[in-house]
Chain A
Amino acid sequence: MKLLIVSFLLLILNILYSSYVKYEHYKQAKMVVKIKDLKAENLQLEAYITNKINYYSVKDFAEGKNYQPVSWNDITFLNP
Chain B
Amino acid sequence: MKAQGLTVKSEKKLKLVIFLIFALYFLVLARAFYIQVIAGENYVKKVLADFPKGRIIKITSYRGSVLDKNGQPLAISLPTISIYAFPKLIQNKQELADKLSKILGLPQFQILNTLNSKERFVWIARHVSQSDKGLVEQAILDTNNSKGVGVQSDFKRFYPNHNVASNLIGFVGWDGKGLDGMEYALNKSLGGKPIEVMTIFAPKEGKMVLKPLSIQDTGTQNDVYLTIDMGVQSIVEDIKNQIVKEFNPRRVAIVVEDVRNGNILGMATYPDFDPNDYYNYPQRDWRNSAVTDVFEPGSVMKSLFLRICHGQKVISSRGET
A residues contacting B by CB (< 8 A) are: 40, 43-44, 46-47, 50-51, 54-56, 59, 69, 72
What 1/0 flags go to B230-248 for Cβ under 8 Å of A? 1000110111001000000
How distant is the Cα of A73 from the Cα of B234 in the complex, in angstroms? Answer: 17
Interface 9-residue window, one of B11-19, B71-79, B178-186, B308-316: B71-79
Q: Are A72 and B239 in contact (CB under 8 A)?
A: yes
Q: Are B242 and A54 in contact (CB under 8 A)?
A: no
How distant is the Cα of A47 from the Cα of B155 in the complex, in angstroms? Answer: 12
A/B interface sample: 10 pairs, CB < 8 A: A43-B77, A44-B78, A47-B78, A54-B161, A55-B230, A55-B234, A55-B237, A56-B161, A56-B162, A72-B242
Q: Are A50 and B238 in contact (CB under 8 A)?
A: no
Interface size class of B (residues with CB under 8 A): 10 to 19
Q: Are A43 and B162 in contact (CB under 8 A)?
A: no
Interface flag for B130 (CB, 8 Å): yes
Chain A nearest CB, measured from B221 CB (Å): 12
Q: Are A43 and B161 in contact (CB under 8 A)?
A: no
* Contact status of A47 and B160, CB under 8 A, knowing A40-B130, A55-B234, A55-B237: yes
Instruction: Point out the residues of chain B lying under 8 angstroms from A43, CB to CB.
Output: 76-79
How distant is the Cα of A50 from the Cα of B130 in the complex, in angstroms? Answer: 18
Interface of A: prevailing SS: helix
Interface of B: prevailing SS: mixed
* Contact status of A40 and B162, CB under 8 A, knowing A46-B73, A50-B73, A69-B238: no
Excluding A40-B79, A50-B161, 9 further A-B contacts by CB distance (< 8 Å) are A43-B76, A54-B161, A54-B162, A54-B164, A55-B162, A56-B162, A59-B234, A72-B238, A72-B239
Interface flag for B158 (CB, 8 Å): yes
How distant is the Cα of A51 from the Cα of B276 in the complex, in angstroms? Answer: 12
How distant is the Cα of A9 from the Cα of B135 in the complex, in angstroms? Answer: 54
Can you name the residue of chain B whose Cβ is closest to the Cβ of A56?
B162
What 1/0 flags go to B137-176 for Cβ under 8 Å of A? 0000000000000000000001011101000000000000
How distant is the Cα of A56 from the Cα of B272 in the complex, in angstroms? Answer: 15
How distant is the Cα of A69 from the Cα of B235 in the complex, in angstroms? Answer: 10
Instruction: Point out the residues of chain B lying under 8 angstroms from A72, CB to CB.
Output: 235, 238-239, 242
Instruction: Point out the residues of chain A lying under 8 angstroms from B230, CB to CB.
Output: 55
Q: Are A44 and B130 in contact (CB under 8 A)?
A: yes
Instruction: Point out the residues of chain A lying under 8 angstroms from B161, CB to CB.
Output: 50, 54-56
Instruction: Point out the residues of chain A lying under 8 angstroms from B79, CB to CB.
Output: 40, 43-44
Chain A nearest CB, measured from B249 CB (Å): 17
Chain B nearest CB, measured from A54 CB (Å): 5
Chain B nearest CB, measured from A12 CB (Å): 34
In the complex, the 3 A-B pairs of residues with the closest C-beta atoms, listed nearest first: A50-B160, A40-B79, A47-B78
